[in-house]
Amino acid sequence: MTTPALVAISHGTASPAGQAAVEALGAAVAAQLPDVTVRLGHVDVQQPDVAASLAGIDEKQPIVIVPLLLSAGYHVRIDLKEQSAHRDNVTISAALGPDERLVDALNARLAPLNPEHADAIVLAVAGSSDERANDDCRTIGRMLSERLDQDVTVGFLAATEPRLGTAIEAAREAGAERIVVANYLLAPGYFHDLATRLAKGAPVARPLLDDDEPAHQIVAVVADRYRSMLPLD
């Protein structure tokens, strides 16, 4: 049987730093799966889009789309299905999160901010019109709280409440003198910049992907999402 190709689909960003970070993840996944055709595409903003990404692969070769998205919102549940419906041999894996390995990567990004010395920790997440995606992010917040043995409040950057700025202000009103912001965003871009602005001086952790080598945990999650869609022997 022909080995399915892996088409990793990110949201897409206009940020050159974000683009480079996601491209580095794609390259790391390709190195992890040397016998697999790996392609990178985007559901919005950037090219190649989903259709162009699929068109670059032989019609006879099966494809597994792995969403490079941290939760399963509209893009995973609707966009990817609609934009790949013209091909019969395409399957779509689950989103990257929730996953304990993402909490590992999140915790590693947070560690330089010394969260154990913080009065409050707020987790910045993108937010979605799909409440199931927001619940995925709340789950990550609970997982991080358990890992740190500290309370973690989730602050959304769009679509739902509480917004990040509101969550930070509530922590200050509750008496927190030192607040740190954990960053559950995949890469630099619009939302990371927004999180930094809304933090109003509170330190913000780096996004999961940045200008360094992609965390092995994130690479492993992408590879495992691909493998989970392969037919059983």
State pLDDT tens for residues 125-159: 999 999 999 999 999 999 999 999 999 999 999 99
Q: Do 155 and 123 form a contact (C-beta atoms < 8 A)?
A: yes
In the predicted structure, residue 20 carries a pLDDT above the cut 80:
yes
Domains of the chain and any CATH numbers: 5-96+212-227 (3.40.50.1400), 100-199 (3.40.50.1400)
Nearest to 64 by CA among 188, 227, 203, 216: 227
What percent of the chain has pLDDT above 90? Answer: 87
Q: What is the structure's pLDDT at 1?
A: 61
Q: What is the structure's pLDDT at 137?
A: 96
- pLDDT tens by residue, 69-87: 999 876 677 789 888 988 9
Strand runs labelled E in 36-178? 38-42, 63-68, 90-92, 120-125, 152-156
Q: What is the structure's pLDDT at 75?
A: 65
Q: Do 133 and 140 form a contact (C-beta atoms < 8 A)?
A: no
**Phi, psi dihedrals of residue 62, rounded to the nearest 5°:** -65, 155
C-alpha triplet 102, 83, 27: angle, nearest 5°: 40
Per-residue pLDDT averaged across 163-186, rounded? 97
pTM tops 0.85, yes or no: yes
**Residue 215: band (very low, low, confident or very high) from pLDDT cuts 50, 70, 90:** very high
Q: What CA–CA distance (Å, rounded) separates 116 from 72?
A: 31
**Residue 233: band (very low, low, confident or very high) from pLDDT cuts 50, 70, 90:** low
- pLDDT tens by residue, 2-17: 899 999 999 999 999 9
Per-residue pLDDT averaged across 19-39, rounded? 98
Structure tokens at 31: 């190195």
